[in-house]
Amino acid sequence: MRSAAHFGVQGLILPDPGLHFSGAAARVAEGVAEVLYPINGADFVPVLSLFRKAGYSLLTTSRHRGKDLYRTKLPAKAVIVFGEEQSGVSKKVASMGDLPIKIPGTGAVESLNVSVATALILGYWWRQEGAH
């Protein structure tokens, strides 16, 4: 949540938006919970479909496939879907994506944790958008 707020994200799709305001989440996020709008994503696929209909591009992340983040123009209006660290983005969600992206690296480790990947991708998106 801290990285999202820092780079101008307006909302987070969460399986349980109540978690957004939990004491533990608020402590870790250092008070940014008030800046981000929680979106109920309990039924994730239809929520993504609504965003697409509203003109958002769906970006999916993968550690194995996708376009190199640093060689890709990211859309200004985007929903970035981060998969779980063990299983990644589901096949159904991956098939909905408009732009699969990956963060290049040495390959010395299999993947980055989701908070680090979030910060890198959002920082790059922010830079492309002219650092608002």
Concatenated DSSP letters for 10-30? -EEEESSGGGGGSHHHHHHHT
47 and 110 inside one domain: yes
Residue 27 lies in domain: 1-41
**In whole numbers, what is the pLDDT of the chain averaged over residues?**
85
**pTM value?**
0.85
**Rg, C-alpha atoms of the chain:** 14
Closest CA to 58 of 74, 43, 80: 80
129 and 90 inside one domain: yes
Residue 101 has pLDDT above 90, yes or no: yes
Domain count for the chain: 2
Question: Which secondary-structure segment (H or E) carries 17?
Answer: none
Residue 117 has pLDDT above 80, yes or no: yes
Instruction: List pLDDT tens digits, range 9-59.
Output: 988 898 887 765 666 666 665 667 778 888 888 888 999 999 999 999 999
